[in-house]
Amino acid sequence: MMRDNADRSNALQILRQHGRERKYKSRETIFARGDTGDSMAIIESGVVRICVFGPDGKEFVLALLGPGDVIGELSVIDKRERAADVIAAGRVTLTVLSAQDMRELLYSDRAVLDYFLNLLCSRVRSANASAETYALNSLAGRLVIFFMNHGQENEDGTLSLPNLPSQSEIARLVGVARESVNRQLRAWRNDGLLEPLGSGYRVTDPVKLQESALTE
């Protein structure tokens, strides 16, 4: 794991040396679905939403990405149109590379090539896991998986999620209405399974939280 982290850090540093800094305001579109993939970027600070919009204009969030994550690389690699919108969820700073610079690095630097091969494999696995999450789990199950994936385990066995996105963002991410998320979180608070922590929660008993999802 330490070797993997070192390889990833090395590849990102090489990419940064060929990029330029750009800043975006909250809700500003970074990449638009259907656009030509003429650049990719590394998120240096802030959070972005990867999303698509339905015919009725309803937004569906596919992922939330933050510092150290890479965006826009797929359309640069396959030279096809962008498959989703990337929107700043707050103030965001990026290191942006042109498609030409990225492709030259892929051909010339083994560390960069290995990084993107691993990244693409990870994205495929994540997409498969997300599809399984929606197909096999109730609302409570989806929220539990979201908490487990985004929480930090504490020594006392609790789980901390101090900086959660808004309930609307969570609802878009797990594919349900905000009101449904609100009801489920309130029920868990009433049962003593969640406690307020910053702009998020502390899960007091992750095992019982998971068990509660099985009964929904």
- Domain boundaries of the chain, sorted by first residue: 2-134, 137-214
Query: In the 8-state DSSP scheme, what is residue 102?
Result: H
Encoding tokens for residue 30?
């970074």
Q: What is the pLDDT of residue 2?
A: 45
Superfamily of domain 2-134: Jelly Rolls (2.60.120.10)
- The whole-number pLDDT of residue 169 equals 80
Q: Nearest-CA neighbor of 123 among 52, 59, 74, 172?
A: 74
Q: Tell me, what's the pLDDT at 134? A: 59
Asked if 2-134 and 137-214 have one fold, the answer is: no
Q: So what's the pLDDT on residue 7? A: 81
Q: Using an 8 Å Cβ cutoff, are 38 and 98 in contact?
A: yes
pLDDT of residue 210: 81
Nearest to 85 by CA among 75, 94, 95: 75
What 8-state DSSP symbol labels residue 136? Answer: H
Give the number of other Cβ atoms within 10 Å of residue 127's Cβ: 12
One-letter amino acid at 106 equals: L
The helix-helix angle for 99-108 and 2-16 (nearest 10°) equals 130
At the top level of CATH, which class does the domain 137-214 belong to? mainly alpha
Task: With H, G, I as helix, E, B as strand and everything else as coil, classify residue 3.
Answer: helix
**Which residue type, as a one-letter code, is found at position 66?**
G
pLDDT along the chain (216 residues), means of 10: 69 94 94 94 90 76 84 91 90 95 93 90 72 66 81 88 83 83 93 90 89 72
